[in-house]
Amino acid sequence: MAKQAAFTCTACGAAHTKWSGRCDACSAWNTVIEEQPLTTGPGRGAGLVKGRTVPLVSLAATEAPPARTESRVAELDRVLGGGLVPASATLVGGDPGIGKSTLLLQAAAAFSRRGLRAVYVSGEEASAQVRMRAQRLGLADANVSLAAETNLRDILTTLEADAPDLVVVDSIQTMWLDTVDSAPGSVSQVRATAHELTTFAKRRGIAVILVGHVTKEGQIAGPRVVEHMVDTVLYFEGERGHPFRILRAVKNRFGPADEIGVFEMTGNGLAQVANPSALFLADRGEPAAGSAVFAGIEGTRPLLCEFQALIAPAPHGTPRRSVVGWDGSRLAMILAVLESRAGIPFAGLDVYLNVAGGLRVTEPAADLAVAAALLSAREDVALPAETVVFGEISLSGAVRPVAQAENRLKEAEKLGFSKAIVPKGGKAVSHSGMTLSPQADLTGFVGDIFGAG
């Protein structure tokens, strides 16, 4: 019995039973294509050998955990969870031109200095172009082998013979497998090539790093199953107008997720930033209306950044809400709570909110800092000097405690801040040398800081 044809959307990966001009899932036109089934099932033709089961309790005695290899680049090792793990698959995504190839070329050179045999496979550039970039970055003497190839069968054959310790594939969308009858970059090809490379990494004990393109929404292009296949998913973020780059771990089987590493793009490549809090606050001058310093936590490290707000009359009657670096839906919630619980309206006013330095903040602990910046901009009153703010705001107007308050205050004190507006009822931080202003609800916060209830 012949298998029924399957149709897949190349934009979102949704499956369809028949062809249609428009995808029902993402509403994109002319993206539904026929997907040919794989010629071999999972595990067939991959050279795998049937084994036996091993009791979990005996693993500690029979198999030692794989030893990590540190690159001696502290920011990269932090995001990886302490170093590179053998037989692991890592997926790195980011916007075009953000510096993914530069980062991974520097990483391959750093690991090669630690004794690993590294191979850099480029499907987008010729070997001479990669070598030219290496010379510009000062890596001409790095012991890294280069290959310019897109046929996965040829690549795996070469890697089987060379047996390196680290393989960088740039990028997964350019690779193609001759057993899959579709164009490179399609859903079938991306899924099949990612599966082959991940299986190869596990079978031969080689660490594989894959580069993935992103969509206009900022997600890694291709089926989401690719992110489930690999062990670690990293996003390389940053604004084109800022030199700072953030390497963020959104999935990590060998370390903490949501960990970040901060780099600065220079003429000689990416330089790691040892103290990102001081860097993000370097351009902050005298206290101004609409500015609030937030003491946040990114992964396991405390990080201070500045929220900037601007309130202006709406010239055309319809107020505008513009956000950069924060969640727009959460801004709408904070504005609604301020109007409903504290009696401070923002109707007829344009609201602009920005996180300085190109950083993206996701934790709810920034609610109180956003409210402080909005009220400061609306009342044209600057917050007290050398003050940091953190706390989560509930829909009832209460200010809720947040995790790791002690680490936040220690980081702020280290950078010279002497005052902190914090939630009331959190863990005791009395040993801190800072002057604390505990706040129980939004009404009290408005009265204490801005002198109006």
Evaluate whether 376 touches 382 at the Cβ level (below 8 Å): yes
What's phi and psi for 442, nearest 5 deg?
A: -70, -35
Tokens of 322: 């513009």
Helix-strand-coil split of the chain, %, nearest 5: 30, 25, 45
Tokens of 19: 């062809």
Residue 112 preceded by cis peptide, ω within 30: no
Residue 406 class from Cβ within 10 Å (0-12 exposed, 13-18 middle, 19+ buried)? middle
Whether residue 94 is annotated as binding a ligand: the answer is yes
DSSP for 91-116, please give it.
EEEE-TTSSHHHHHHHHHHHHHHTT-
Q: Report the sign of the C-alpha dihedral through residues 166, 171, 176, 182, in that order.
A: positive
Could you count the other beta carbons within 10 Å of the beta carbon of residue 434? 18
Query: Integer distance in angstroms from the first to the last C-alpha of the chain?
Result: 75
Scan for tokens 């790093």, then name that residue. 209
User: CA angle 9-13-14, nearest 5°?
Assistant: 75
User: Token pair of 399, please?
Assistant: 């200010």
Here the tokens at position 150 are 């897109």
Question: Tokens for 374?
Answer: 């909005």
Q: What is the largest CA-CA distance in the chain?
A: 79
Amino acid at 147: A
Is 95 labelled a binding residue? yes
Instruction: Quote the CA–CA distance of 76 and 90 in Å, as a whole number.
Output: 13
| Distance from C-alpha of 162 to C-alpha of 288, rounded to nearest angstrom | 60
d(CA 392, CA 397): 10
DSSP state of 69: B
> Distance (Å, rounded) from C-alpha 60 to C-alpha 63?
6
Residue among 170, 169, 167, 232 at smallest CA distance from 201: 167
Q: Is 98 annotated as a binding residue?
A: yes
Q: And the tokens for 137?
A: 């970055």
Task: Read off the tokens for 21.
Answer: 């001009």
Is 99 annotated among the ligand-binding residues? yes
Spatial distance between the Cα atoms of 58 and 81, rounded to a whole number of angstroms: 25
Residues in the annotated binding site: 94-101
Residues in the annotated binding site for ATP: 94-101
